[in-house]
Structure 1
Amino acid sequence: MRARLLEATVELLVERGFAGTSTTLVSERAGVSRGAQLHHFPTKNDLVVAAVEHLTERRGAELSAAFAALSAQPVDSAAGRRTRLRTVVEMLGDHFASPVFAAALELWVAARTDEALLAAVGPLEQRVGREAHRLTVAALGVDESRRGTRELVQATLDLVRGLGLASTITDDSARRRRILREWADVLDRQLDEERP
């Protein structure tokens, strides 16, 4: 029942936005009585934060597993490093163009003017951001103690978030792929300069 409520909430956040998502609609979509929904999630904020946290963690686990499988493949040449780097950047681009990101974005915008929601969403987004950064560092196989590397990783994450934001308005997947290919090449050159 809880999982159905969380899935229904994310679907509605993506379809209708934060303002258009109500606990009544969530209960109807999930096929759960209003009382049962209130038992699990007494307020709309409780429900939407839990839903986005649940799916963000699930998507993060999927991304982590994909990165782990990629990292298990040996890279013994410059061409192999470039291919892995491009794959990691494209995977990040897809991650931030997903419906989960669109749902999270709805919460960010709503939290800007809702102190109670901000108090719940802020720590979640900080935790998610740190985890995305950690996963990206590991997937790229870079050493953050080297000058400029941390900033390059963060610039990559900022870029894919921005492209994810653009994808909420229009399907720009072809443009996003071109930009990410170019960024991967820039990133490879910059990281190559930092390699010992």
Structure 2
Amino acid sequence: MGVVTSPKQDRSRVTRQRLLEAAVSCLAERGWSGSTVSVVAERAGVSRGAAQHHFPTREDLFTAAVEYVAEERSTALRQLFPEGGADRREVVTALVDLFTGPLFRAALQLWVAAANEEQLGTRVAELEARVGRETHRIAVEMLAVDESRPGARETVQGFLDMARGLGLAHLLTDDTGRRARVVAEWARILDGALG
């Protein structure tokens, strides 16, 4: 039996979700300096007061937004490969795709802002550590990696670092063709290194 919620709780949950999704979109499109609570509230179709009720500070809103979308992304990724990855190239492609969408662009904007704002920096570092661990865990699971093998953990981490680099390159140019060749090569490397 599920938890019974009141219409007010349902509205509150929907408002919160709309704010989080709007915050990620704003951050990806406008960057930190162009993303304020007022801009996000307007995009989400709620009042600034309602936004501040859910997220008292700008830092609260944007760190929660990136965390929320990262969790959604992890869930979607696991649903793509419910049995683990049958074809390593497909899994490598899906993992690289994590770093080419609006979530990565929003997270990058948050990282840049965090580098310059001490209060935000601590929160983003904690968030990124959690998201990084979860991404690594998903990669290990989907690539069917035996981390007890020497070098396996470092190989997965190197792959994720490469995927992040491809995401950075994608911010400036559409490198779809080159990325496909790199993905194919990394799938081959992972097959050799991980068995």
Decide: shared fold, TM above 0.5: yes
- What per-residue deviation string (whole Å, max 9, x for no partner) do you get for residues 74-97 of structure 1? xxxxxxxxxx11111111111111
Question: Which SS does the other structure have where 1:45 is aligned?
Answer: helix
- What per-residue deviation string (whole Å, max 9, x for no partner) do you get for residues 8-59 of structure 1? 1111111111111111111111111111111111111111111111111100
> Separation in 1 of the partners of 2:193 and 2:41?
50
Question: Which SS does the other structure have where 2:105 is aligned?
Answer: helix
The residue number in structure 2 matching 1:54 is 68
Amino acid at match of 1:173: T
Q: TM-score, normalised by structure 1?
A: 0.88
Question: Please, which runs of 5 or more residues in structure 1 have no aligned partner?
Answer: 74-83
- Residue 6 of structure 1 and its aligned partner are, at CA, apart by 0.9
Identity of aligned residues (%): 54
Which of 122, 133, 156 is the aligned partner of 1:119?
Answer: 122
- What per-residue deviation string (whole Å, max 9, x for no partner) do you get for residues 162-182 of structure 1? 111111122212211111111
The residue number in structure 1 matching 2:164 is 161
- Residue 190 of structure 1 and its aligned partner are, at CA, apart by 2.1
Which of 158, 169, 176 is the aligned partner of 2:179?
Answer: 176
Which of 27, 35, 49 is the aligned partner of 1:35?
Answer: 49
The CA RMSD over aligned residues, in Å, is 1.3
> Separation in 1 of the partners of 2:187 and 2:50?
48
- What per-residue deviation string (whole Å, max 9, x for no partner) do you get for residues 114-154 of structure 1? 11111211111111111111111111112111111111111
The residue number in structure 2 matching 1:80 is none
> Separation in 2 of the partners of 1:36 and 1:187?
48
Question: Which SS does the other structure have where 1:168 is aligned?
Answer: helix
Whether 1:68 aligns to 2:82 is yes
> Separation in 2 of the partners of 1:58 and 1:118?
23
The residue number in structure 1 matching 2:6 is none
